[in-house]
Amino acid sequence: MQAPKAIIIGSGIAGMSTAIRLAVQGFEVSVFEANAYPGGKLSVFEKDGFRFDAGPSLFTQPQNIEELFALAQEPIEEYFQYESVEVACRYFFENGKSVTAYTDIQKYATELQTQLNEKPESLQRYLTAAANLYQRIGIIFLDFSLHKFGTWFHQRIFRALGTVRFSYLFQSMNAHNRKQFKSAEAVQIFNRYATYNGSNPYKAPGMLSVIPHLEQNQGTFYPTGGMISITNALYQLALKKGVQFIFNTKVTSIQEKNGRMEGVMAQDQFYPAPIVVSNADVYFTYQHLLNNASKAKQLLKLERSSSALIFYWGIRHTFQQLGLHNILFGRQYEAEFKHLFETHTLIDDPTVYINITSKLEAAHAPDGHENWFVMINAPANKGQDWQGLRTAARKSIIEKINRMLGVDLESMIVSESIMDPVMIEQQTGSFMGSLYGTSSNNVFAAFLRPANFTSQIKGLYFCGGTVHPGGGIPLCMKSAAITAQLIQSDNIHLFK
């Protein structure tokens, strides 16, 4: 019997992960990618002797990748290697204080006590609660479809209900964190985790306090070769399992008839398949591939997540006080988020994130130099004057780094590239440049996020950061797992 065909639109992390899972199930899988390379946002480029990971820079939950290789019965060590890191992040404040967030919880607790006068038990209590929240509730939200009745009629739901606290649902993340820590700096550190899914800690629910569990309890890691090695490993695994990649080929429409999937159109050619999975932005999918303007308009009612403004700087200097991940906090954190989500602009003193992979792999920069990935949160693209915003932000960032690190950074920049929300939208198909689709700025956000399937068209599914359970590498891989499981349970008849 000939294997049933499945088409994946987009070769992002979720698209490739879904392709691998479907190939293991027995599908003949083809992945259509508009770019000349796989990976979506998770790409790399080199310039002037510097190597930069272009997109996501934080690696947590390696078990998601290990699970995929185990499922495919392939030895992961032949494709992918990684190491744990001792420090999750280095935090710097304008008042001169700094905190090293060790991945060892005891050392981290001691650091918070020494630097911020926080009681060690405050961190331990917070992370224990985060772990419990993840095990009882987080797994339901992240590992199962919230849009299937079967998810809610299981004994795990009743166990989870006993874990839910008022503060998780009906208080903001900031309000929740203020009850856990007494110093403004510690609250700011743990508020920052809302940005991991493009949200506002002063609006998003306390439920997001589960996020530190991934980084602190489960560990922070670094993939050998940089983040691009994740893309390379998944691409090679997909090829090994027989997945076909069709690059430089943009899907222009999804074809259905009488509510059933028929295939896709790409470069004026029809490709039939009873199963189609869109790893493209779900808004883009409905608006342009399905020509369903009403559904697309409905999706626009959901607030978009934040985007990013990134400067890739080759630096002629080495900084001992900086590590792999670094944060220089802004002085007006709440106002910063009001700028992002209410006035849709940039504050003049933004929080600055600096990622330096040459700290762990010297070959990523020339001798005596460092490769800086410098990012600030930015609003989704609404037609702002991005040239003006880029110029102003560059000035603000350099002044901030000079002030906080005591340097003349401008004289050290020997290479520069820039990425803004418009470019993110153009290169990755992320509508309005939003990195995570919709924000989580209300208690119902998880339920409002689009599902991994549609009941309107049998055989059409969705994966990736704009659908359940959300954006970021771990959640995109979980999205792939949910989507593949739905396809398997819905389409057993295709293998009979």
> For the residues 28-46, what does the mean pLDDT come to?
96
Provide the pLDDT for residue 285: 97
Examine the pLDDT at 165 and tell me if it is beyond 70: no
Average pLDDT, whole number, for the chain?
A: 93
Q: Quick: pLDDT tens for 83-95.
A: 999 999 999 999 9
pLDDT at 185 over 70: yes
On the question of pLDDT at 241 being above 90, the answer is: yes
pLDDT of residue 169: 63
Give the pLDDT confidence score for residue 440 in this predicted structure: 84
**pLDDT at position 96:** 97
**Is pLDDT of 486 > 80?**
yes
Q: What band does 449 get if pLDDT is binned at 50, 70 and 90?
A: confident
What does the pLDDT read at residue 248?
97
Question: For residue 157, is pLDDT > 80?
Answer: no
Q: pLDDT value at position 153?
A: 54
Q: Determine which of 25-29, 50-54, 149-153, 430-434 has the lowest per-residue pLDDT on average.
A: 149-153
DSSP string, 94-161: TTS-EEEEESSHHHHHHHHHHHH---HHHHHHHHHHHHHHIIIIIHHHHHS-TTSHHHHSSHHHHHHH
Q: What's the pLDDT tens digit per position in 399-411?
A: 999 999 999 999 9
In terms of Cβ atoms closer than 10 Å to its own Cβ (0-12, 13-18, 19+), residue 257 is: exposed
DSSP, collapsed to helix, strand or coil, labels residue 265 as strand
For residue 448, give the nearest of 289, 304, 254 by alpha carbon: 304
Indicate whether 155 pLDDT > 70: no
The 3-state DSSP class for residue 48 equals coil
Report, as an integer, the average pLDDT of 222-234.
Answer: 98
Q: Which of 166-175, 310-319, 362-371 is the least confident region? A: 166-175
Question: What would the mean pLDDT of 167-194 be, rounded to a whole number?
Answer: 92
pLDDT in tens, 63-82: 999 999 999 999 999 999 99
Please tell me which residue, 349 or 492, carries the higher pLDDT value. Answer: 349
Q: Place 202 in a pLDDT band, splitting at 50, 70 and 90.
A: very high
Kindly tell me if the per-residue pLDDT of 156 is higher than 60: no
* Mean pLDDT value of segment 455-470: 94
Q: Which of 190-199, 246-255, 385-394, 436-445 has the lowest mean pLDDT?
A: 436-445
Query: Contact, 450 vs 299, CB < 8 A?
Result: yes
| CATH classification number, 5-44+61-70+227-302+438-495, choose in 3.50.50.60, 3.40.50.10420, 3.40.1160.10, 3.40.47.10 | 3.50.50.60
What are the residue boundaries of the structural domains of the chain, listed by start?
5-44+61-70+227-302+438-495, 103-218, 306-428
Q: Rounded CA gap, 45 and 457, in Å?
A: 39
